[in-house]
Amino acid sequence: MKKVLLYVGVALVVIVGGGFAFLELKKPAMNTPSALKVEATADRLQRGKYIFENVSDCGGCHSERNWEKFGGPVYDGRVGVGFVFPPELGLPGKVVAPNLTPDPETGIGGWTDGEKLRAIREGVSKDGRALFPFMPYPHFRKMSDEDAYSVVAYMNSLQPVKNRLPKTELNFPIDLMIKFVPAPVVSPAPPPDRSNKLKYGEYLVEMGGCIECHTQMERGKMVAGKEFGGGTEFNFKGMLVRSANISPDPETGLGKWGEQRFVDKFKGFANMTYDNAPRMNQSNFTLMPWLPMSQLPEEDLRAIYAYLRTVKPVFNSIEVHPPAPPAAQ
């Protein structure tokens, strides 16, 4: 009997070991990057800046920001230079948002436009590595071709900045699991129909990654049925904030908010700048991209509001700012 168990044990080790070896070697699903060279028209530069800095807040993750001030405004000249996420955020390993400026050595100046497009929408780096989906490429997959070209045109127009950063190093087994996340974009993606308020709102909510921050997570996965119900905790720089419930639940979400109240909430931050932002402390700490998103045209905010009215109401009462900062760890 003991011998049988031993054999079973050995067999298991061999199978599991073989499985890991297979996963170590496994490559993510990927396309060869397109040979397309993105033309930088004025329209694209403007639209690309809007997506990069406002709607998708690429700059929020990929820039150096002043966390002493409300909303963490981006330092002058540090847009796109990259950022190393601090350990207290509780990410599974060392996570680094790379330098996206066109510096050839430390940024992505040596990448083709096709490689940039593939990284943004399909989650594969230049070297064929799967990107950690904290980079919201599963959402950017739905980015229209024209918007994706615009983002690339805008990234190409950034001032090259030399800023050497370490590489992302994820813990086992997350480093292997993420290989299954990338997926090629196989059909043309037409621009969103702006005359359809709901559809355009859905598109903006997708590009804004709202659901990622506004849904409770368990072991790195969104809890099904809790979408937009808030409650994700962000512990950062010794401060703690929980995301708000933005589902249309009338008691605990935005159910009683009219469209104008929603728009005004964003527009209330529209004149806040690097210079006049108040100091950030436990009572006003946030990671909500208020400064970038306050610059959205009202039409876009109204579309977002319209879409958020249609998601399932989640009953979830959130104390966004707990009274005291978390105990030192």
| Cβ contacts of 268 within 8 Å, gap of 6 or more | 294
Provide the minimum distance between the beta carbon of 9 and ligand HEC in the complex, in angstroms, as a whole number: 35
Q: What is the dihedral of CA 31, 59, 103, 163, to 10 degrees?
A: -120
Q: What is the dihedral of CA 92, 95, 97, 102, to 10 degrees?
A: -140
Provide the minimum distance between the beta carbon of 38 and ligand HEC in the complex, in angstroms, as a whole number: 13
Give, as ranges, the residues between 100 and 139 that touch ligand HEC (CB under 6 A).
Answer: 100, 108, 116, 119-120, 125, 131-132, 134-136
> What ranges make up the beta strands (E) of the chain?
83-84, 93-94, 96-97, 169-170, 217-218, 221-222, 233-236, 239-242
Provide the minimum distance between the beta carbon of 95 and ligand HEC in the complex, in angstroms, as a whole number: 5
Q: Counting contacts by CB under 6 A, is residue 140 touching ligand HEC?
A: yes
| Cβ contacts of 207 within 8 Å, gap of 6 or more | 51, 55, 56, 139, 140, 142, 143, 147
Q: Counting contacts by CB under 6 A, is residue 239 touching ligand HEC?
A: no
Q: Which of the ranges 35-43, 156-164, 185-193, 241-249 carries the binding residues for ligand HEC, by CB under 6 A?
A: 241-249
Its sign, for the CA torsion 158, 161, 163, 167, is positive
Provide the minimum distance between the beta carbon of 221 and ligand HEC in the complex, in angstroms, as a whole number: 16
Q: Counting contacts by CB under 6 A, is residue 208 touching ligand HEC?
A: yes
Q: Which is nearer to ligand HEC, 274 or 309 (CB)?
A: 309
Provide the minimum distance between the beta carbon of 327 and ligand HEC in the complex, in angstroms, as a whole number: 20
Provide the minimum distance between the beta carbon of 91 and ligand HEC in the complex, in angstroms, as a whole number: 8
Q: Which is nearer to ligand HEC, 135 or 314 (CB)?
A: 135
Instruction: Give the integer Cα–Cα distance in Å for 280 and 321.
Output: 12
Provide the minimum distance between the beta carbon of 123 and ligand HEC in the complex, in angstroms, as a whole number: 8
DSSP 290: H
Instruction: Give the integer Cα–Cα distance in Å for 288 and 295.
Output: 14
Q: Counting contacts by CB under 6 A, is residue 300 touching ligand HEC?
A: no
Q: Counting contacts by CB under 6 A, is residue 210 touching ligand HEC?
A: yes
Q: How far, CA to CA in Å, does 129 sit from each of 23, 70, 169, 321? A: 13, 35, 12, 38
| Total residue count of the chain as it appears in this document | 329
State which of residues 38, 58, 277, 280 lies at the interface with ligand HEC (CB under 6 A).
Answer: 58
Provide the minimum distance between the beta carbon of 99 and ligand HEC in the complex, in angstroms, as a whole number: 8
Instruction: Give the integer Cα–Cα distance in Å for 241 and 223.
Output: 19
Q: Counting contacts by CB under 6 A, is residue 246 touching ligand HEC?
A: yes
Q: Counting contacts by CB under 6 A, is residue 244 touching ligand HEC?
A: yes
Name the residue among 225, 109, 98, 216 with its Cα closest to residue 163: 98
Q: Counting contacts by CB under 6 A, is residue 215 touching ligand HEC?
A: no
- Burial state string for 64-79 with b = 16 or more CB within 10 A and e = fewer than 16: bbbeebbbbbbeeebb
Residues of this chain that bind ligand HEC (CB under 6 A)? 51-52, 56-58, 60-62, 95, 97-98, 100, 108, 116, 119-120, 125, 131-132, 134-136, 140, 151, 168, 205, 208-210, 213-214, 234, 241, 243-244, 246, 265, 286-289, 304, 320
